[in-house]
Amino acid sequence: MSKIIAISSFKGGTAKTSTALHVASALTLFHKKKVLLVDFDSQANLTTGLGFDPDEQESAAPVLQGNVPVEDVIKKTGVEQLDLIPGDTWLERVEVTGNLAADRYSHERLHDVISQLDYDIIIIDTPPSLCWLTESALIAADQTLVCATPEFYSIKGLERLGQFIEQIGQRHPLGTLGVVMSFWNARGKSNETFLDVIDDTFPDKAFDAKIRRDICVSEAAVYGQPVFNAHPKSRAAEDYKALTKEILKKL
């Protein structure tokens, strides 16, 4: 069975999508894993970041509605062994349309759809909010990887996200893989304070690997490629490799 990881964050701007893309890419490129990315965010930034036009792809929405089989929406990416279920704007209201609207267990559909797929690891990119899509992703997952940045609102949001994860974990088996810090500045004055808050909310879950700010990530996204292909010697490539190794150890 696949190991399923949901990437989660309480707010935008935490490099959540970039983390999903680069951890998945590193797993395939450097650890020979067969990986599926699920873009479960109506903004579809992950889909765009892999070189696809969201307006020309079908997302998980018609699959969740029972209209098409999941195999019909899976796309091969430019990275060998890395596949994608794209995102699109339909996801934003999928739970209140069609037969999902009348299904009191609709948030379990994603789990039913992806849990039987033949991959080593499935990574779900979620919206930056505590909504139906995020709940569905966490219910589908075995573990969640939490993204944060060293700033006040990001860190404070971890407390609400932690409560949300705990509530879901009481109903479904869900563990916290760890918390990764992006846009990290090793000389930041408040680093210790932020790490203390993380440790209070998710004890012993902060990853040693930190993702430093690097313009190479944005430049790679323009070309629809992971940074390992576009800028293989960049510090972002180095940081995401280190994070992926740490993730594999925890798995």
Token pair in block for residue 142: 């075995």
Kindly report, residue by residue over 182-203, the tens digit of the pLDDT. 999 888 888 888 899 899 999 9
Cα distances from 245 to residues 208, 213, 238, 248, in angstroms, run 11, 20, 11, 5
Say how far apart CA 230 and CA 72 lie, in whole Å.
29
Number of domains within the chain: 1
Which residue range forms the structural domain that includes residue 21?
A: 3-250
CA-closest candidate to residue 5, choices 14, 49, 15, 19: 19
Report yes or no: 41 and 54 within 8 Å, Cβ to Cβ.
no
Kindly report, residue by residue over 17-38, the tens digit of the pLDDT. 999 999 999 999 999 999 999 9
| Prediction pTM value | 0.95
CATH of the domain at 214: 3.40.50.300
Place of tokens 């849990």: 115
Confidence at residue 239, expressed as pLDDT on a 0 to 100 scale: 97
Kindly report, residue by residue over 127-159, the tens digit of the pLDDT. 988 899 999 999 999 999 999 988 888 777 888
Sign of CA dihedral 87, 93, 97, 101: positive
57-92 per-residue burial string, b: 16 or more CB within 10 A, e: under 16: bbbbbbbbbeeeebeebbeebebebbbbbbbbebbb
Q: Residue 113 — pLDDT band, cuts 50, 70, 90?
A: very high
Residue 103 CB-density burial (10 A; 0-12 exposed, 13-18 middle, 19+ buried): middle
Token pair in block for residue 163: 């409560």
Confidence at residue 221, expressed as pLDDT on a 0 to 100 scale: 86
